Chain A
Amino acid sequence: MRRETVLNIVLALGLLAVPLAAQAMGEPFIVTLATKVAILALAGVGLNIALGLGGMVSLGHAAFFGIGGYTMAVLAAPVQAYEPLMTWPFELSGTKSMPVIWLAAMVAGALGALAIGALSLRTSGVYFIMITLAFGQMLYYFAISWPAYGGEDGISIYVRNGFPGLNTLDPIQFFALAYGVLMAALMVSWMLARSGFGLALAGARQNPARSAALGIRPYSVKLTAFVISGAMTALAGALFADLNRFVSPSMLNWQTSGEIMVLVILGGVARLFGPVAGAALFILLEHWLGGFSEYWKLFLGLALLGIVLFARGGLIGTLAGREVAHD
């Protein structure tokens, strides 16, 4: 077995074992932290489809994360206020059901990614980075100035949304849900990378001109990947909002984009479990460094600088070596 595979299994089991042990020892806070790791990792798995597989350096994924979060709030807020979601052109009520919310979040994220991607992919390189960053910022300002959904203050959802057959208010059960979604997303990402589409995407990333001469439109292939990526990150956003029972424009902030990207890189770009390792490391650092300094992000910045300049390949790259699958 390749070292990376072993590492992946260790990560998957570790992320499961830590909260179970914490639950047994009566430490619900650690369970919540593990849930946060799972959800941020999910956002990273989404970004990694664009970044790792498609080579699209998107600094605007907070847009999709936020779209997911706001989709949750928009659907759930009317229920807690005993109002319909809308009355025109037809009456529709909100929902507190997670599966419905997840589906809506993914559709909204996909549509957002389609619009942003269709424009941004007309360019490449630094332009693409700046444009995705700018469109993300546009949604941030829109959320701040649009008063219907809380403006700068955001919206609180007082009771966590429900999932059939589970008590989502119980931390360990909500963790199980987030973990299950993460594993499903990793499965999708794994299949995508090996599929015919994944091959076409690799071709479009490495050599767009050659791909076109083979009858493959790089623009369409990349845009499709960007849409899938946006949908997955939006799903993470919906879960993140449910974890906090709160959404605010800060989910849409450029720093959120930066942090999702950082955790992908910390783990290792284009590595299947890179975002999981990265998210775990990120949350650990936040807690460990945050414990002895209010300015822990200074040290995070220095650590990140060191990793980029000297330890390329991220955590998984460092531990598993630079071998790449060629099966």
Chain B
Amino acid sequence: MSLMLLIEQALNGLQYGVMLFLMAAGLTLVFGVMGLINLAHGSLYMIGAFACAAVAAATGNFWLGLAASLAAAAAAGALMELTVIRRLYARDHLDQVLATFALILVFSEGTRWVFGSFPLYLDIPRALAGPVRLPGGIDYPLYRLVLIGVGLSVAAGLFWLIGRTRLGIRIRAGEADREMIGALGVDISRLYTIVFALGAALAGLAGALVGALQSVQVGMGEPVLILAFVVIVIGGIGSIKGALVGAILVGMTDTLGRFLLPIAFSTFMERSQAMSVGAALASMLIYILMALVLVVRPGGLFGRA
């Protein structure tokens, strides 16, 4: 029984991790290729969730909503890049932080204006509702299992894209040497827009998929954004592999910590106290993990130097 619970929690951790990966992948690509820190990446996550919820509510079809979330986030990302972000590449990190913080205000308040302050609800598509029996007799929600599959497929797709395609070669060249790819005749500004929109679409996808598990509301993106930062610090900037490992590490640590720490504390503490101490410590666990990585490898697990 307890082992089954543990496996269930581990799957939850994995699901959480792969969704974090979708966020972190776009961020780390943008860091790696353009050297830009984008605080408004969380807004793209929110836009994806709202687009999916609104379209699904209007049409009654989750899949149309999902398509809308990808389109809306990619479009918002491309627009953001064309109007604001490209003016920031040559600026210092402080300007990037401020401008993208301003974008958060614009997107958050704009969304509140359009949709109001109340959360929207997005239902899991009927085909994916309900549990599925896993080998070993564990009943696990099918939808979460699908999320794990989607996340891992996207990861595989990204590895293929970066490693095997012409776009990927250009992206890697851009990471190595910005002037070089200009000299090779690649249209850098178009490449940047594409990379940015790709990252935005991944964030929007994550927002829509997670939106069906939680409520869709303004401000939902930033806590995920900060977790994605933790993932990137752990994995190393610019590394897709680092983002994947870091994301799963963070997802697992957080989920299992919240599950196991109160139990561990209750072996030597009074129960209600163990619950609160365990919960408080569990909420800090991933940051402690990050601190440990910083002490041992300040550049992250897969970072360059």
A→B interface (CB under 8 Å)? 51, 57, 59, 119-120, 122-123, 125-127, 129-131, 133-135, 137-138, 141-142, 144-147, 254-255, 258, 261-262, 265, 269, 295-298, 300-302, 304-305, 308-309, 312
Interface presence of B93 (CB below 8 A): yes
Interface presence of B146 (CB below 8 A): no
Q: List the B residue with the shortest CB-CB distance to A57.
A: B94
Give the 4 A-B CB pairs with smallest separation, nearest first. Answer: A301-B105, A298-B109, A138-B287, A130-B229
Interface presence of B279 (CB below 8 A): yes
Q: List the A residue with the shortest CB-CB distance to B285.
A: A138
**B276 near A301: Cβ-Cβ < 8 Å:** no
What A residues does B283 contact at CB under 8 A?
138, 141-142, 144-145
Among the listed A129, A131, A295, which residue makes an inter-chain contact with B97, where contact means beta carbons less than 8 Å apart?
A129
Q: Could you tell me the distance in whole angstroms from the C-beta of B262 to the nearest C-beta in chain A?
A: 11
B→A interface (CB under 8 Å)? 31, 37, 84, 87, 93-95, 97-99, 101-106, 108-110, 112-113, 222-223, 226, 229-230, 232-233, 237, 276, 279-280, 282-284, 287, 290-291, 294-295, 298-299
Contact status of A138 and B284, CB under 8 A, knowing A302-B106, A305-B99:
yes
What B residues does A133 contact at CB under 8 A?
226, 229
What A residues does B97 contact at CB under 8 A?
57, 59, 129, 261
Q: Could you tell me the distance in whole angstroms from the C-beta of B297 to the nearest C-beta in chain A?
A: 10
What B residues does A131 contact at CB under 8 A?
229, 233, 290, 294
Q: Could you tell me the distance in whole angstroms from the C-beta of A285 to the nearest C-beta in chain B?
A: 12
**A254 near B226: Cβ-Cβ < 8 Å:** yes
Inter-chain pairs besides A127-B298, A144-B283, 6 sampled, C-beta below 8 Å: A119-B294, A130-B230, A138-B283, A142-B280, A300-B102, A302-B102
**B109 near A295: Cβ-Cβ < 8 Å:** yes
Q: List the A residue with the shortest CB-CB distance to B226.
A: A137
Q: Could you tell me the distance in whole angstroms from the C-beta of B134 to the nearest C-beta in chain A?
A: 31
**A142 near B233: Cβ-Cβ < 8 Å:** no
Q: List the B residue with the shortest CB-CB distance to A310.
A: B87
Q: List the B residue with the shortest CB-CB distance to A305.
A: B102
In the assembled complex, the Cα of A265 lies from the Cα of B92 at a distance in Å of 13
**A298 near B98: Cβ-Cβ < 8 Å:** no
Contact status of A51 and B94, CB under 8 A, knowing A134-B290, A138-B284, A308-B99:
yes
Among the listed B84, B104, B106, B226, which residue makes an inter-chain contact with A134, where contact means beta carbons less than 8 Å apart?
B226
In the assembled complex, the Cα of A123 lies from the Cα of B102 at a distance in Å of 25
What B residues does A305 contact at CB under 8 A?
84, 99, 102-103, 106
**B284 near A308: Cβ-Cβ < 8 Å:** no
**A309 near B229: Cβ-Cβ < 8 Å:** no
Interface centre among B97, B98, B232, B280 (most CB of A within 10 A): B98
What B residues does A269 contact at CB under 8 A?
94
What A residues does B37 contact at CB under 8 A?
126, 129-130
What B residues does A309 contact at CB under 8 A?
84, 87, 99
Among the listed B105, B110, B222, which residue makes an inter-chain contact with A304, where contact means beta carbons less than 8 Å apart?
B105
What A residues does B95 contact at CB under 8 A?
308, 312
**B101 near A304: Cβ-Cβ < 8 Å:** yes
**A298 near B226: Cβ-Cβ < 8 Å:** no
What B residues does A135 contact at CB under 8 A?
287
Q: List the A residue with the shortest CB-CB distance to B105.
A: A301
**B105 near A297: Cβ-Cβ < 8 Å:** yes
**B101 near A134: Cβ-Cβ < 8 Å:** no
The contact sample of 23 A-B pairs, CB cut-off 8 A, is: A57-B93, A126-B37, A127-B233, A130-B230, A131-B229, A133-B229, A134-B226, A134-B290, A138-B283, A142-B280, A145-B280, A146-B276, A146-B280, A254-B226, A297-B105, A297-B108, A301-B103, A301-B104, A301-B109, A302-B106, A304-B101, A304-B102, A305-B106
**B237 near A126: Cβ-Cβ < 8 Å:** yes
Q: Could you tell me the distance in whole angstroms from the C-beta of B284 to the nearest C-beta in chain A?
A: 5
Among the listed A122, A262, A297, which residue makes an inter-chain contact with B98, where contact means beta carbons less than 8 Å apart?
A262
What A residues does B84 contact at CB under 8 A?
305, 309
